[in-house]
Amino acid sequence: MIPVSYSYRSLMVRWKTTLMTATGFTLVIAALIVMLAFINGLAEVCAISGDPNNVIVLNEGCTDEILSSISRATASQIETNPLVVRRPDGTSLSSRELFGVRTVYDKKIRDYVLMPFRGVSPSAFEVHNTVHVVSGRTFRPSQSEVIVGMSIKNAQKVELGDVLEIARKKWKVAGFFAAGGAALESEVWGDLDEMAGQFKKEGSYNSIVVRAESPARAKDLARSIDSSAQISVGAQTELDYYAKQAESTNFLRSAVWVIAWFMGIGAIFGVMNTMFAAISQRIKDIAVLRLLGFMSWEILIAFLLEAIMVSLIGGGLGMLVGYSANGFTQRFTISGHEVQFRFLVDASLLALAAAFSLIMGIMGGLLPAMSAMRVRPLEAFR
């Protein structure tokens, strides 16, 4: 068997060409990791945003709450469902909510950006029990106060006491809230009645969120509301709702792989060209190896190993560059919800990138290696 050191020394002798070829793999792998980290971050936010005990109710046919409209009468009928959890006083554990998106001035970038707002009543904190105020206090009803999600606070450098101008009205920031990294952290919450009056939506809501005793009961509750003949609404568990929101990333994931393969083809042709050039310069070396008794398949493995080494060197550097994007924050709109999320580079993504780099190396090195194994010793010395 030809020693691995032979392939390694061959690359070092041609280090400039090796470096240029490896750079192509670095760029492809780094771009792939960054793009998939973007999608992973979005998917993670959607995955942790739903509470398995909660059911979200929208207007029939609506897939997103920003387009939904539910009347007070319908909301009251929904809350009477026997599967909805009751408080000790007999009232239902539900949250009537107003949702919208408006522009506000971002001090960080000195420009206007879209900001999701949600009008809620105090019961929202019971239904969305992962939401809790981490600094300051909650808003006071009818006092033009809001609380801001931590994602917005960190992204826009909002401070306690700041004033946000939403829909030509000024709202004072009374506190900040966290929600375990969920999409709710990318929202501004204020008093339901006050926001309804400001946005001319009195008497209607965008969504109703009701709570069940368990995930199994939540599914039963969603089916019960959805199949009701008395009201025209659509109901689903929050887990299902956010899972459908995340489906919009499937197209992005497919697009990323199409782009990656187009870039990868360039890298494959790059290593193929390099290896063919190397073989043409080493015809006599290959002939000597054959005369020394090495089999043709051993020649193939030696030259294929060179291509794989180039791909792994470039891929390794690409993974280092791509991993630097881990934790980088970005804002993205999913079905009307502008969420703040972090790029996520995990072990599975790095393993996928390594495998992709290896496949490109094999595909790029196989034809040149097969060409090398067909060299005939006697003809090479003519």
- Tokens 């339901």 map to which residue? 192
Locate all alpha helices (DSSP H) within 50-109, ordered by sequence: 72-79
**Can you name the residues that pair with 143 across neighbouring β-strands?**
none
228 or 131: whose pLDDT is higher? 131
List CB contacts of 5: < 8 A, sequence separation 6 or more: none
pLDDT on residue 211: 94
Question: Under a CB-based contact definition with an 8 Å cutoff, are residues 239 and 279 in contact?
Answer: no
Residue 288: CA count within 13 A, CB half-sphere: 4
Contact indicator for 110, 122 with CB cutoff of 8 Å: no
Q: Which residues face 165 on adjacent strands?
A: 170
Instruction: Please give the average per-residue pLDDT across 329-344, as a whole number.
Output: 73
pTM for the full model?
0.75
Q: What are phi and psi of 29, to 5 degrees?
A: -70, -40
Q: How far apart are CA 129 and CA 198, in angstroms?
A: 27
CA distance 267 to 313: 13
Residues 6+ apart with CB under 8 A from 4: 305
pLDDT tens digit string along 62-95?
Answer: 878 888 899 999 999 999 999 999 989 889 999 9
Average pLDDT score, the chain: 85
Report the DSSP beta bridge partners of residue 102. Answer: 115
| pLDDT score of 281 more than 60 | yes
DSSP characters over 151-164: HHHHHHT--TT-EE
Q: Does residue 68 sit in helix, strand or coil?
A: coil
The span from the CA of 113 to the CA of 102, in Å, is 8
> How far is 344 from 382, CA to CA, in rounded Å?
58
> Look-up: residue for tokens 């192509």?
24
Of 217, 234, 314, 210, residue with least CA distance to 64: 234
What pLDDT, in 10s, does the model give residues 296-310? 778 888 888 888 888
What does DSSP assign to residue 292?
A: T
pLDDT computed for residue 337 by the predictor: 64
Residue type, 241: Y
pLDDT higher at 187 or 330:
187
pLDDT over threshold 60, residue 109? yes
- C-alpha 83: how far from chain center: 34
Give the per-residue pLDDT at 378: 56
Q: What does DSSP assign to residue 92?
A: B
Q: Give the whole-angstrom CA distance, residue 35 versus residue 42.
A: 11
pLDDT tens sequence across 134-179: 999 999 999 999 999 998 888 788 899 988 888 778 899 999 999 8
Determine the residue type at 79: E
pLDDT tens digit string along 200-252?
888 899 999 999 999 999 999 999 998 888 888 999 998 888 888 777 777 78
Strands 132-136 and 54-59: unpaired
For residue 371, the model assigns a pLDDT of: 81
Angle, in degrees to the nearest 10, between helices 4-13 and 296-323: 60
How does residue 338 score in pLDDT terms, banded at 50, 70 and 90?
Answer: low
pLDDT one-digit tens code per residue, 263-274: 889 888 888 888
- What whole-number distance in Å separates Cα of residue 279 and Cα of residue 372? 6
* Separation of alpha carbons 13 and 223, rounded Å: 69
Give the model's confidence band at 34: pLDDT under 50 very low, under 70 low, under 90 confident, else very high. very high
Q: Please report, for residues 24, 251, 299, 336, the alpha-carbon distance to residue 264 in angstroms, rounded to integers and kept in the order given.
A: 9, 20, 26, 34
| pLDDT attached to residue 229 | 81
Question: CA 281, 285, 290: angle at the middle one, nearest 5?
Answer: 135
